[in-house]
Structure 1
Amino acid sequence: MTEPRWAIIVHGGAHPVPPEKISASRAGCLAALNAGRRVLEGGGSAVEAVEAALRVLEDDPTFNAGYGAALNADGGVEMDAALMDGATLDVGAVAGLSGVRHPVSVARRLLREKEILLIGEGAHRFAAAHGAELCDPADLISPEQRGAVESHDTVGCVALDAQGHLAAGTSTGGLSGQPAGRVGDSPQPGCGFYAEDGVGAIALTGQGESLARMMTAARFIHRLPGSTPDDALREVLEAMRLRVGGDGGGIALAPDGTVGWWHNSPDMPVAYQYSGQREPRVYLRKAEEEPNAQAHP
């Protein structure tokens, strides 16, 4: 009897990683991957695995999500997050959220509600009413972010569970110095993420306005059936760069668990693993992966 397939991939943002943060970026992605992998190995759902992985990244000040998120022009933290269930096409997303430890868990709770996106104070009230871990907004500001001049982009995860269901999720603090109220691609379905069973799943990172203008996630989903995840990502991100400008990256899964990732930014830390693969793979940039490799389950 063939063992059920599962697969998971996480990323830590498409951006130049300073030498002093390389080790932490690799370790953080691996820790997030392991959290999600344990869910899948235990028979959990893809949605549960994505949430578990992103919660780890939200707790790690190395990344621009949750604790350590970028500061806006007012010196505050406004976070966006999203989660999509490929089995039902349910979406839960929040934008401009502050005072919450784990925005992705608020998105997870919203997943089964009628509304798909809540913002600002409304998102915070929903979080409080549904038992989210609240905090003083100042507690989300890490020492590194005080005085930081550049954000480290969005984090993301996509997963396939043993039942064949896909899920995708994102979490971000946005851009350093962004105007209060700015919303990028990360909480917008079809722009920064998408998941549909039998088709594929994707989570993107990069210049949010460009990703949103091109509806890059939707373009990937339409292109995937006739392409590999790697090739489809490369094609849509290069099309974005040429049409509207902007660097970016993405991670993706095909319905059979084939892993894909690509970026046209200098770096994009990634970790992935699938059933039957003995050890996880962790990379700082695509060039570190075997030439022309396509990860198959």
Structure 2
Amino acid sequence: MNHHFTFLAAFFALSLATLSSFVSAEDGNRADTGDWSIAVHGGAGTIDRGAMTAREQASYKAALAAALDAGSDVLKNGGTALDAVQAAIVPLEDDPKFNAGRGAVYTWQGTNELDAALMDGETRQAGAVAGISSVKNPILLANAIMRDGRHVFLSGAGAEEFAGDAGLERAPPEWFATQRRLESLERMKARLLSAADVDHKFGTVGAVAMDQDGNLAAGTSTGGLTGKRWGRIGDVPVIGAGTYADNRSCAVSATGTGEYFIRVGVAQEICTRLRYRFRAEMDKAQAAVPLGEDGMASYMVHASEFGLAGDMVQEEVDAVMAEVKDLGGYGGVIVVTPDGHAVFSFNTQGMYRGRATSEGMNEVAIFADE
């Protein structure tokens, strides 16, 4: 009888330990292997190879590669996903080729209004800003808001005041001014065109990363839509729509027709789908475990030992982008998972994009067939 009691006590102790391990792994990182992964984007849309010279293509790819290298260097040296995301986004904000920071499009009134967001997948802290016009790098203001912690989302004059208190670098209107963006606004006004008619691509920039500790982060920055009015805000600074990160599932940065991304809640929808898919696949794996003579599973599948395959991740991400398209929206997303998968999905002709991993992947691309 004592031997039987001792066996039961040991069994229940092992079961509790297994449950504890499972819960902590499911709620936190599923892997801490020293691997890292990063993806960047510079917008999606009607990007026709025939309409771009070889020199233009090379220029865009060089800019993407530089941003990717900046983020990768942080991760290679043991830096955080948050730092890597910012390191990748800042040079894209400074590059007038992209619709963020220096290359931002013009509002109907002929000004630049900038939006950005940053999120930490470990703590789910976030910072977001909308409608600012004098902060050189909006992603750094999003970071300052997140670090301060009192609020998540600031806008307009209040956000500008906060930026001043935080000591962030400011820039005059001429820093953000670019001739081709001004011409886009003039064409819109002269021909009564829509933003989609003028800008056939969405030049929003963003980055997602997983660091060597298995933590995730996401960041996005944009100038919005050409000719936007009435203080319009798109999906980029809306946590859960254009930007989201959660160590339990993924990090996402989006670009496209923001109104549709907001309605679908694209970024969090992708993360939620991946969490449910992870649970479903793990349950399948557990159901396949051989049973012992007592009818019990011979071992328990631990969340820390389990991960989604890349094709499973792609399937869920593509499903969300298909939903956006069904509603009439266009654009794309970049996604990084706790297993280090770096995934793209877009329903447009092209997307300025790049990805790199500790396993040696390092690539940039523009067109859908690349």
Distance 2:343 2:64 in 1: 16
SS at match of 1:94: strand
Task: Answer 1 or 2: which has greater helix percent.
Answer: 2
Deviation at 1:180, TM superposition (A): 4.1
Distance 1:105 1:188 in 2: 16
Contact 2:122 2:246 in 1 (8 A): yes
SS at match of 1:127: helix
Contact 1:229 1:261 in 2 (8 A): no
| 2:47 counterpart of 1:14 | no
Contact 2:334 2:344 in 1 (8 A): yes
Give a deviation string over 1:137-163, Cα, whole Å, max 9, x none: 232112332212426331110000001
Deviation at 1:71, TM superposition (A): 0.5
1:195 corresponds to? 245
The one of 68, 74, 77 aligned to 1:33: 68
Distance 1:89 1:45 in 2: 14
What RMSD in Å do the two structures reach over aligned CA positions? 1.5
Q: How does 1:121-140 map to 2 (within 5 A)?
A: 121-140=157-176
The one of 310, 316, 321 aligned to 1:232: 316
SS at match of 2:151: coil
Contact 1:262 1:286 in 2 (8 A): no
Contact 2:349 2:368 in 1 (8 A): no
SS at match of 1:123: helix
The one of 272, 276, 290 aligned to 1:222: 272
Contact 1:229 1:253 in 2 (8 A): no
Normalising by structure 2, we get a TM-score of: 0.74
Distance 2:133 2:344 in 1: 30
The amino acid that maps onto 2:41 is H
| 2:206 counterpart of 1:146 | no
Contact 1:73 1:180 in 2 (8 A): no
| 2:332 counterpart of 1:249 | yes
Deviation at 1:3, TM superposition (A): 6.3
Give a deviation string over 1:8-42, Cα, whole Å, max 9, x none: 00011012234043222211111110111111111
SS at match of 1:12: strand
Percent pairwise identity:
40
Where does structure 1 differ by over 3 angstroms across 4 or more consecutive aligned residues?
Answer: none
SS at match of 1:217: helix
Contact 1:69 1:173 in 2 (8 A): yes
The amino acid that maps onto 2:46 is P
Distance 1:254 1:34 in 2: 20
Gaps (5+ residues) in structure 2?
1-31, 185-197, 278-307
Q: How many residue pairs were aligned?
A: 285
Distance 1:229 1:70 in 2: 33
The one of 175, 180, 186 aligned to 2:225: 175
Distance 1:79 1:60 in 2: 14
SS at match of 1:144: helix
Distance 1:144 1:198 in 2: 42
Cα separation, partners in 2 of 1:286 and 1:232, compared to 1, 3 Å? farther
Distance 1:208 1:19 in 2: 25
Distance 2:82 2:313 in 1: 20
1:213 corresponds to? 263
1:294 corresponds to? none
The amino acid that maps onto 2:166 is H
Deviation at 1:224, TM superposition (A): 1.4
Contact 1:95 1:120 in 2 (8 A): yes
Moved more, 142-151 or 155-164: 142-151
Contact 1:252 1:260 in 2 (8 A): yes
| 2:366 counterpart of 1:284 | yes
1:266 corresponds to? 349
Normalising by structure 1, we get a TM-score of: 0.92
The amino acid that maps onto 1:272 is R
